[in-house]
């Protein structure tokens, strides 16, 4: 009987402690508008970094599938990488980083174009002349370089805001 009461008492104490912790977590923390903006900026850049890491993983998988020569896997891995690029455009952007985001979005658009073009070229390379292949590859490389330049520009603009 005493053990049951003690167990109930402990259970109620734990529930009470949990409730207090939950309420403390929900309590509004007073931050200045500047602190809120800084937190939003850090969260945005953190999301960008996570997407970049995810993209690197997908591109490594694409590279491995290209080396194996499996067209189905190449298309699948390219689509996975394209889906990661799409995530950047869906991010909630703090007002202070809208110009940074424009560069990231433009870079992703160019990289998307290059990636799609490369998969297309790989799939249709057998019927192309060397000159056509080289010209198309040059266009793809230009789109890739443009995308990388935009991403670098975004990083520089973001670094200037620190």
Is the confidence at residue 160, as pLDDT, over 90? no
Provide the pLDDT for residue 29: 62
Task: Look at the chain and report how many structural domains it folds into.
Answer: 2
**18 lies in the same domain as 98:** no
Look at the chain and count its residues: 162
Provide the pLDDT for residue 8: 46
Is the confidence at residue 75, as pLDDT, over 50? yes
Range of the domain at 25: 1-29
Query: Mean pLDDT of all residues in the chain?
Result: 84
Mean pLDDT (whole number) for 78-104: 94
Q: Please, are residues 76 and 62 in contact by the beta-carbon 8 Å criterion?
A: no
Greater model confidence, 69 or 60:
60
**43 lies in the same domain as 19:** no
Q: Go through 28-50 and write b for each residue having 16 or more CB atoms within 10 A of its CB, e for each that does not.
A: eeeeeeeeeeeebbeebbebbee
Mean pLDDT (whole number) for 107-123: 92
**13 lies in the same domain as 51:** no
Percent with pLDDT over 90 in the chain: 58
Task: State both tokens at 42.
Answer: 């850090």
**38 lies in the same domain as 4:** no
**104 lies in the same domain as 45:** yes
Is the confidence at residue 9, as pLDDT, over 90? no
């Amino acid at each position: 009987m005493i053990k049951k009461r003690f167990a109930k008492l402990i259970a109620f104490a734990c529930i009470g402690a949990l409730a207090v912790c939950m309420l403390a977590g929900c309590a509004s923390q007073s931050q200045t508008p500047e602190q809120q903006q800084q937190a939003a900026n850090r969260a945005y850049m953190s999301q960008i970094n996570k997407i970049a890491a995810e993209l690197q993983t997908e591109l490594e998988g694409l590279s491995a599938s290209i080396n194996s020569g499996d067209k189905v896997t190449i298309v699948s891995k390219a689509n996975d990488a394209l889906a990661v690029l799409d995530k950047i455009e869906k991010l909630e952007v703090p007002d202070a980083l809208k110009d940074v985001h424009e560069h990231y979005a433009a870079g992703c658009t160019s990289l998307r174009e290059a990636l799609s073009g490369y998969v297309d070229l790989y799939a249709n390379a057998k019927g192309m002349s060397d000159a056509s292949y080289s010209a198309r590859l040059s266009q793809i490389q230009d789109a890739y370089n443009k995308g990388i330049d935009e991403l670098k520009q975004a990083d520089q603009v973001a670094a200037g805001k620190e």
